[in-house]
Amino acid sequence: MLALKRSTALFGRVATNATLVRPMPRCLNFSTFSSVMQKKQSGKDEKPQSILNEDLLTKAGFDLEDSASQHQQKLHEDSEAGKDAAGAGEGARGDDKRKRRKRQTSTDIKRERYANWFYVFTFASMAGVGLYMTREWEDGDSKEIRQGVDNGYTPQLMYQRFMARIHNMFSYFQEPPFPDLLPSPPPPPYQRPLTLVITLEDFLVHSEWSQKYGWRTAKRPGCDYFLGYLSQYYEIVLFSSNYMMYSDRICEKLDPIHAFISYNLFKEHCVYKDGIHIKDISKMNRDVGKVVMIDTDPNCYKLQPENAIPAKPWDGKPDDGLLQLIPFLEYLATQQVNDVRPILSSFQDKTKIPIEFTQRVEKLKSKFFADHRTKSEGNWALKMLGVSPSASSVKFPLDLIREEGEKNYIRFMQLIEEEKEKIRIQQEQLGGQTFTLKDYVEGNIPSPEEQVKIQLEKQQEVEQLYEQRKKEKAEQKRQQQQQ
């Protein structure tokens, strides 16, 4: 009985433990299972191996070193760590000098070869150009380029010729495109006494950008009158501080038929010096003593400040700044001066020339009328005859000049309106006259003599049509007045 109870108890424990053990797969034999159990019991599981082996890393472009050499190097570094500082430093320098193994493909080798050939070709070309620039002077070289440097192949002369040509090369980009920015002036009967150089930006017009409207340009009040009135006294040159591609359209809007503005200059015609663009009026083919310059930027007249009238930048708000300048500019042009610089230098503050000039005129006017009264009172002959000239019958000379200028301006504007009407009619008549590529190929283009004849006939038709329209407008105006 005792033996039976023990066997039953043992069987129960085995049955109980059996429920806690997972069933083994059928494909796993007893030997494999025993080895796995032994490893688990010993606690020495193998680490998982990475699928990135050395072959894959080498193909990807990584430089690897043997694990044995790395291990030996680490042991060597640990052993050397206990040595003195000098020995440790020498060992470190020795380790740094070791070159790591570098794997190069055929493409890398070709790239290095082409790069080396490119460097050799570049340096050889630079050396050849440098030697070519040290050559002797030729007949086409100007005297300004030579600068007193003689021919010869000594090192000093070769270096001087090289530097002279280098300086001339860079000065090409710093100087204006032409030595004379303007053509020669007309003969004296048709020549204006003075030349007026006016800036465009922030003086005649003002441009602003907004997110709602984009770029908008406003014309200053009195701009048309300023240009039209002074054009009878001055040769007006509009010198913009911006490039031609941005300012040319604005210049055309200000003067479509080129009646007021004689020439247009732009930023391309400036001198580039010390990092700024300067408007050099000495390159305008005009007498510098007879040139007046109005600009808002002091850097623009840096080379000739004595010829400049500084102006405050216009911010787009309505003002009468242009009209205030007219009396002084009119006086300057009507006095037949040979040099405007002493007159401009006589003002203490050039930015306030209109105010100071008005004060001078008032003083002169009061003195003029006082002298006139003294002369009229001291003339006993006029008193005996009972003739006493009134002060209202005597006019100040500048007032007479202004009245004559106004009359000339009115007549000039009438001529401008007539010319605008003629140009408008001419554009209507010649608008449909075009030549196609077929006409050029077939030779249907008239000769130059025939083209001139056709143009004269068209001009006569324009004159006749203009006179007819002029009569029609006059008749309509007369009928309106009668009604």
Tokens encoding 155: 């090192």
Please determine, for residue 337, whether its predicted confidence score (pLDDT) is greater than 70.
yes
Tell me, rounded to whole angstroms, the distance of Cα 118 from its chain centroid.
35
* DSSP secondary structure letter of residue 391: G
Asked whether the beta carbons of 289 and 305 are under 8 A apart, the reply is no
Locate tokens 């030549």: which residue? 435
Tell me, rounded to whole angstroms, the distance of Cα 22 from its chain centroid.
85
pLDDT at 264: 94
pLDDT at 378: 62
At residue 312, the 3 state secondary structure works out as coil
Please determine, for residue 461, whether its predicted confidence score (pLDDT) is greater than 90.
no
pLDDT at 73: 58
The more confident residue out of 203 and 144 is: 203
Beta bridge partners of 273: 276
d(CA 344, CA 465): 50
d(CA 294, CA 340): 13
Tell me, rounded to whole angstroms, the distance of Cα 368 from its chain centroid.
52
Tokens encoding 216: 């908008």
Interior/surface letters 9-18, b for 16+ CB within 10 angstroms, e for the rest: eeeeeeeeee
Q: Measured over all CA atoms, what is the biggest interatomic distance in the chain, rounded to whole angstroms?
A: 184
d(CA 143, CA 149): 10
Please determine, for residue 308, whether its predicted confidence score (pLDDT) is greater than 80.
yes
Range of weakest confidence among 61-70, 97-106, 190-199, 332-341: 61-70
d(CA 205, CA 251): 10
Tokens encoding 240: 């913009």
Chain-wide mean pLDDT for the chain? 78
Beta bridge partners of 207: 217
The more confident residue out of 173 and 364 is: 364
The more confident residue out of 432 and 10 is: 432
d(CA 264, CA 262): 7
Q: What angle do CA 240, 242, 243 make, to 5 degrees?
A: 110
Torsion angle (degrees, nearest 10) of CA 345, 349, 351, 355:
-100
pLDDT at 183: 92
Going by pLDDT thresholds of 50, 70 and 90, the confidence category of residue 408 is very high
Q: How far is CA 92 from CA 126, 134, 337, in A?
A: 43, 52, 87
Rg (CA), the chain: 48
Closest CA to 266 of 252, 114, 74, 13: 252
pLDDT at 433: 55
> Backbone phi, then psi, for 162, in 5-degree steps?
-60, -45
Stated pTM of the model: 0.63
pLDDT at 468: 81
Going by pLDDT thresholds of 50, 70 and 90, the confidence category of residue 155 is confident
Tokens encoding 146: 């030579």
Going by pLDDT thresholds of 50, 70 and 90, the confidence category of residue 38 is low
Instruction: Read off the amino acid at residue 438.
Output: K
Domains in the chain, CATH or no CATH each = 130-174 (no CATH), 188-346 (3.40.50.1000), 395-482 (no CATH)
pLDDT at 68: 46
Handedness of CA 278, 279, 282, 284 (dihedral sign): positive
